[in-house]
Amino acid sequence: MKKLIIIPAYNESENILNTIKCIEKNAPDFDYVVINDCSKDNTLEILENNHLHFVNLPVNLGIGGAVQTGYQYALENGYDIAVQVDGDGQHDPKFLSDLFETLVKENADMVIGSRFIKNEGFQSTFMRRVGITYFTKLIHSLTGKTITDPTSGFRMCNRKVIELFSRDYPRDYPEPESIVALLKRKMKVIEVPVQMKERQGGESSINASKSVYYMIKVSLAILIENLRKYKV
């Protein structure tokens, strides 16, 4: 199987090189592509100077647009498996083998790396954990499925999901909404325990002042997604 790591990156000059080195060391059987989302720092310069594999977006598309670009790249280049690994160093490539083995063994459409099955490693901030718990309950109320880490970007999917996400993927804060989209299509979404790290440098795109806006916007998007009709 051809396996691709999608690395969305916006202003990740402090982290991107170490992230890729860690991938090359711990997941040599995966290819990777960095999606540089029109970074304002010297992320592009680092990618070019180190001859890394990347797609450079001429305008900022946001996390959803950057990740969707990665899925389109995977589709066009014949990949069977795609997994998102954030450019900030939080996702440990050592767990990629667990995600892949579970995807194949369980014949799943998506496998999510969850911080909250074994509660090990970095557990995020208190306010973020409150939001995560809220989205877990919201998704369960709409779909009947319990996802313990619905905001995790550490997600692996099969070719069917690559094809879907390459043409239809949420633009803003896409993780919870896209989970609902898969579950409404009767696709198999499961979780495996992983350990994550604190952001290795730079600043998160979601701070305290944006948290309320984030929760309201994502909640509305999830509710709208839940109302869509699909052929299954």
121: confidence class by pLDDT, cuts 50, 70, 90: confident
Query: Has residue 4 got a pLDDT over 80?
Result: yes
Q: Alpha helices of 85-169 — where are they, by DSSP H?
A: 96-105, 126-143, 159-167
Task: Please report the pLDDT score of residue 229 as a whole number.
Answer: 75
Q: How confident is the model at residue 61 (pLDDT cuts 50, 70, 90)?
A: very high
Q: What is the pLDDT of residue 199?
A: 67
Token pair belonging to 164:
């879907």
Region 72-96: mean pLDDT is: 97
pTM here is 0.92
Q: Locate the domains of the chain by residue range.
A: 3-227
Give mean pLDDT, residues 72-83.
Answer: 98
Residue keyed to tokens 């997941």: 27
Contacts of 216 (CB under 8 A, 6+ apart): none
Q: Which of 160, 134, 159, 158 is nearest to 148 (CA)?
A: 134
* Partners of 5 in beta bridges: 32, 83
Q: Rounded CA gap, 38 and 45, in Å? A: 12
Who has greater pLDDT, 127 or 46? 46
**What is the DSSP secondary-structure string of 84-102?**
E--TTS-B-GGGHHHHHHH
- What are the tens digits of pLDDT across the range 20-48? 999 999 999 999 999 999 999 999 999 99
Distances (CA, A) of 21 to 4, 32, 39, 201, 202: 15, 11, 20, 16, 18
Predicted local distance difference test score (pLDDT) of residue 66: 98
Candidate from 114-128, 187-201, 216-230 with smallest mean pLDDT:
114-128
Give the count of alpha carbons within 13 A of 174, CB side only.
21
The CATH number of domain 3-227 is 3.90.550.10: yes
